[in-house]
């Protein structure tokens, strides 16, 4: 609250220009693309994690291995869901 | 008649090169009998190892010091090879990333009162927070996997160092107990002394000359076990029980 009040007090004509610029469709469009690209890169990462868990559980077999594999798949599904959410919400 | 035309000799040579079914079966039976003999001459680890006789089989899959771990195996394990000890880094060495993960998790809550993203619509706020926690989940999973699967294994025949240094880099080194030349345990610092963990260095005559079991629990017990195994290997050689 204190920070918000301070920011409001400091706002001048330059700040309103910044607000206009950032709320413009082009800026938000670029930001949306950036969010989606980042999420897609994360999907690749989580896919690599799934492959890595598969390789690890082949190398060292424990009673927890299958549980970890499930965690890997849940993580991948979560990453895919985030891409879908970014597409729909932004 | 010259030798070259002697058909009986040709037949006997053929038999020598291509053994009959019965011969193959006999050879397999002999091999099995030899293997069974080897198994029966091998002593149970509790008979010669004080460390192993004092410990019960570990059932927890999380343990950093797992003696005779149940439901555990590794890719290059021989059928009659028994895992005696499975070691991971002491859980205390993992505190740093756990604390960092907790800090990362609470950052959005702490900064929720500060409107530094207020110039963006609410949906972008939501996306930023979602992305933040997604990155956090990746960090936690990766850190845990690195700890969980980077293991040191001591079997009745070998020592194995399994390293997953990054997402795609895997390194498995092994050395036979016979090849071990020197074992040293190092415990430096107050934390290591209080919680009894440290580094065990194993010098070998194998291709990889040094194995380092970094920050493992009870390093003196590990050293003791390795010494007992080395002694047993020596005894096996003397008594002619070598595989």
d(CA B76, CA B115): 56
> How distant is the Cα of A3 from the closest Cα of chain B, in angstroms?
6
ipTM score for this prediction: 0.78
Contacts of B134 in chain A (CB under 8 A): 39, 42, 78-79, 82
Which band of pLDDT confidence, cut at 50, 70 and 90, is reported for residue A53?
Answer: very high
Which band of pLDDT confidence, cut at 50, 70 and 90, is reported for residue A6?
Answer: very low
A87 shares contact with chain B (CB less than 8 Å): no
Q: Which of B83, B124, B143 to substitute to test the interface with A, most A CBs within 10 Å?
A: B124
Which band of pLDDT confidence, cut at 50, 70 and 90, is reported for residue B237?
Answer: confident
pLDDT score at B119:
79
Q: Is residue B225 within 8 Å of B52, Cβ to Cβ?
A: yes
Contacts of A39 in chain B (CB under 8 A): 131, 134
Q: What is the pTM of this model?
A: 0.79
pLDDT tens readout for residues B157-167: 999 999 987 76
Contacts of B164 in chain A (CB under 8 A): 52, 56
Average pLDDT of chain B? 85
Which one of B73, B126, B141 has the shortest CB-CB distance to A89?
Answer: B126
> How distant is the Cα of B9 from the closest Cα of chain A, in angstroms?
52
pLDDT score at B67:
93
B18 pLDDT above the threshold of 70: no
Which band of pLDDT confidence, cut at 50, 70 and 90, is reported for residue A23?
Answer: low
Which band of pLDDT confidence, cut at 50, 70 and 90, is reported for residue A82?
Answer: very high
Kindly write down the DSSP assignment for every residue of chain B, as one continuous string. Answer: --GGG-HHHHHHHHHHHS--HHHHHHHHHHHHHHHHHHHHHSPPHHHH-HHHHH-PPP--TT-SEEES-TT-EETT--TT--EEEEE---GGGGHHHHHHHHHHHHHHHHGGGS-TTTTS-HHHHHHHHHHHHHHHHHHHHHHHHHHHH--EEEESSEEEEEEE-SSS-EEEEEEEGGGEEEEEEE--SHHHHHHTEEEEEEEESSSS-EEEEEEEE-HHHHHHHHHHHHHHHHHHHHTT---
3-state secondary structure of A60: strand
pLDDT score at A3:
46
pLDDT tens readout for residues B107-119: 999 888 787 777 7
> How distant is the Cα of B8 from the closest Cα of chain A, in angstroms?
54
pLDDT tens readout for residues B118-147: 778 889 989 999 999 999 999 999 999 999
Kindly write down the DSSP assignment for every residue of A19-42, as one continuous string. Answer: HHHHTSHHHHHHHHHHHHHHHHHH
């Amino acid at each position: 609250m204190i920070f918000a009040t301070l920011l409001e007090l400091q706002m001048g004509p330059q700040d309103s220009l910044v607000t206009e610029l950032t709320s413009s469709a082009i800026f938000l469009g670029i930001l949306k693309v950036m969010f989606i690209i980042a999420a897609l890169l994360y999907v690749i990462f989580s896919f690599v994690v799934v492959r890595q868990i598969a390789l690890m559980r082949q190398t060292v077999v424990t009673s927890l291995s299958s549980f970890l594999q499930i965690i890997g798949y849940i993580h991948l599904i979560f990453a895919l869901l985030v891409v879908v959410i970014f597409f729909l919400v932004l | 008649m010259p030798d070259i035309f002697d058909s009986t000799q040709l037949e006997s040579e053929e038999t020598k090169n291509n053994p009959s079914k019965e011969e193959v079966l006999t050879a397999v039976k002999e091999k099995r009998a030899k293997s069974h003999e080897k198994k029966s001459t091998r002593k149970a680890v509790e008979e010669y190892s004080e460390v192993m006789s004092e410990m019960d089989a570990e059932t927890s899959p999380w343990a950093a010091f797992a003696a005779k771990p149940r439901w555990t195996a590794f890719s290059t394990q021989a059928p009659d090879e028994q895992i005696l000890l499975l070691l991971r880094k002491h859980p205390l060495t993992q505190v740093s990333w756990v604390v960092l993960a907790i800090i990362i998790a609470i950052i959005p809550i702490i900064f929720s009162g500060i409107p530094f993203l207020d110039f963006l619509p609410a949906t972008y706020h939501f996306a930023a927070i979602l992305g933040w926690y997604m990155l956090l989940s990746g960090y936690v999973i990766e850190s845990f996997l690195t700890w969980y699967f980077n293991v040191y294994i001591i079997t009745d025949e070998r020592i194995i160092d399994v390293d997953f240094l990054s997402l795609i880099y895997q390194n498995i080194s092994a050395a036979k107990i016979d090849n071990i030349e020197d074992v040293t345990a190092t415990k430096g610092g107050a934390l290591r002394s209080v919680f009894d963990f440290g580094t065990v260095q194993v010098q070998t005559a194998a291709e990889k000359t040094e194995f380092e079991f970094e920050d493992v629990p009870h390093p003196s017990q590990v050293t003791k076990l390795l010494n007992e195994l080395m002694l047993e290997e020596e005894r096996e050689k003397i008594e002619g029980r070598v595989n």
